[in-house]
Amino acid sequence: MIQIKRALISVSDKSGLVEFAKFLNQNGVEIISTGGTLKLLKDNGIAAIAIDDYTGFPEILDGRVKTLHPKVHGGLLGVISNPAHKQKWKN
């Protein structure tokens, strides 16, 4: 079974989000989040990292561009069985 270490959460419909995020935190999953989603998590005492802290780049265009960054998409598009991809993830 693959262990989930990190989750990116950015949603418009926040129904059930607090309970889900608490479950993730209780199971050792690091949460990265954006804007209003991050605010809701923090307001409910849930540990989460702002996406701009993770990427080193701010949200732009009134929050329309938040997660378009190689640190995010590299994790989404990389091939787990490819040693070169795994090495890039470590960096």
66 within a domain of the structure (yes/no): yes
Rounded to two decimals, what is the model's pTM? 0.74
1 within a domain of the structure (yes/no): no
Q: Which residue has the higher pLDDT, 84 or 26?
A: 26
CATH number at residue 18: 3.40.50.1380
Alpha helices (H) along the chain: 17-26, 35-43, 51-55, 70-77, 83-90
Domains held by the chain: number: 1
49-62 pLDDT per residue, tens = 998 898 887 776 77
The gap between the terminal CA atoms of the chain, to the nearest Å, is 24
Domain extent at residue 16: 6-90
17-74 pLDDT per residue, tens = 999 999 999 999 999 998 899 999 999 999 999 988 988 877 767 766 666 666 666 6
24 within a domain of the structure (yes/no): yes
Quick one: pLDDT at residue 29?
A: 95
Q: Assess whether pLDDT exceeds 80 at residue 79.
A: no
